[in-house]
Structure 1
Amino acid sequence: GLGHRVFHHPLHRLERAGRLLRRHLQSARAALLFGSEKFGLSNDDISHCHWLLHIPTRPGHDSMNLGQAVAVTLYELSRSPAAARRLPEAASRATEAEIARLADLLEQALRRSGYPGFERGGSSTLKLRHLLHRLSLGSRDAAVLAGMLRQILWKLGPAGG
């Protein structure tokens, strides 16, 4: 379960999430993250996600064990023939590594320029990652933005100077 945390991600019920994910898989790759039964996913783990999935349960039985959650989710995804199609060889969307690098460069530029609220690992960093995920950048766009940010960092000069 999600507990009582506040998230800035869209939250979709399993049926809708299944449709969205099947549609997404027609043109790009995806990953499903499942947290441990004891602790779930950390806020940092969740910051890498594009949206969250809610599996409805019976009243009074608010959670499932990990195996049940995985099985139910994969069953929902397999209900459409589109899920069985072969994935494209190369996804055009930016990879998680490209988004992480872009977030790092943008965070450096904001910190060096004196933009308030960017202490390493703070909530501003998480919000920045969420923003970059919502943009659904392609690999080429991520590379262009990374180049722009490197130029800005070069113009700003060495860190601390």
Structure 2
Amino acid sequence: MAWRRNLRVVLVRSRNSLNIGAAARAMFNFGFSDLWLVEPYTAAFRKARSAVGATEVLKSARVTDDLAEAMGASSLVVGASGIQGRVQRQVRRSLPDAGHALRTHLQNRPAALVFGSEQSGLSNEQLSYCDWVLNIPTTEDCPSMNLGQAVALCCYEISRISRSVPKLKTPTSVSAIERHRVLEMLTPILEESGFIIPGQRASKLLKIRRWIGRLRLAPADARLLMGMLRQIDWKLQRDKRQ
């Protein structure tokens, strides 16, 4: 079905070739094909891609060092995380609720589902790119789930939702990559003004990225904001030269 093409699965810093292969196989089982890997361990990715029986999903997977690029045109970004303490000021949804929300969104809008590395999951910075967080309920004795299993569960949950999902209206918020561009334009201005100082840069940018995500900027509002930022930056640079 066409809606399946709207889902992008993003694996961040995957370390194990078997897990990469299992994730791709799970996507293939449920009809999803758009796989991106962010900073995978090179040897693991090469081994997974060259393995006998590697799926077309894996063979056509895209690789990048930039998480924002991997999320691309997605107007909804969901992070899968089982580490409760890391999620700060972000909506957390259970798997059934998340599956329904994603399925509805995917009817006519692109979305990205982001998974962290097997060793450490998604970092605070990586989670800050996400609109909300999906939680797969596991026991306290064994809270961490195998990457391939997690991808399979999520793909199943999304796929099992009724086919009679209504189409949503035209997207009203900008994509993840456009939100990232807003942050890139805003950052040097805030540094120039002294709002961001070197010792606090990482923590401030984390909070600002989350704030931009919560704004759910409409395309017209994003264009207006970026136009304002360009003008402010031009004025600051001109004053420095004088």
Q: Report deviation, 1:81.
A: 3.1
Secondary structure of 1:32's partner? strand
Secondary structure of 2:115's partner? coil
Q: Is the 8 A contact 1:92 1:138 kept in 2?
A: yes
The reply to whether residue 15 of structure 1 matches residue 96 of structure 2 is yes
Identity %: 43
Q: CA separation of 1:125/1:35 partners in 2, compared to 1, >3 Å: closer, same or farther?
A: same
Which residue, 39, 49, 55 being the options, matches 2:120? 39
The reply to whether residue 115 of structure 1 matches residue 198 of structure 2 is no
- Equivalent position amino acid for 1:42 in 2: S
Q: Report deviation, 1:91.
A: 5.2
Aligned to 1:149: 229
Q: Is the 8 A contact 2:196 2:204 kept in 1?
A: no
C-alpha distance in structure 1 between counterparts of 2:198 and 2:212, whole Å: 16
Secondary structure of 1:81's partner? coil
Aligned length: 160
C-alpha distance in structure 2 between counterparts of 1:28 and 1:159, whole Å: 43
Q: Report deviation, 1:145.
A: 0.9
Q: Report deviation, 1:23.
A: 2.8
Aligned to 2:211: 131
Q: Report deviation, 1:26.
A: 3.7
Structure 2 alignment gaps of length 5 or more: 1-81
* TM-score (structure 2 length as normaliser): 0.57
Secondary structure of 2:220's partner? helix
* TM-score (structure 1 length as normaliser): 0.82
CA distances 1:41-65 after superposition (whole Å, capped 9, x unpaired)? 2222212111111101245231210
C-alpha distance in structure 2 between counterparts of 1:43 and 1:151, whole Å: 32
Q: Is the 8 A contact 1:99 1:133 kept in 2?
A: yes
Aligned to 1:71: 152
Aligned to 1:51: 132
Secondary structure of 2:93's partner? strand
- Equivalent position amino acid for 2:193 in 1: S
C-alpha distance in structure 1 between counterparts of 2:239 and 2:199, whole Å: 14
Secondary structure of 2:141's partner? coil
Structure 1 alignment gaps of length 5 or more: none
Q: CA separation of 1:136/1:58 partners in 2, compared to 1, >3 Å: closer, same or farther?
A: same
Q: Report deviation, 1:87.
A: 9.8
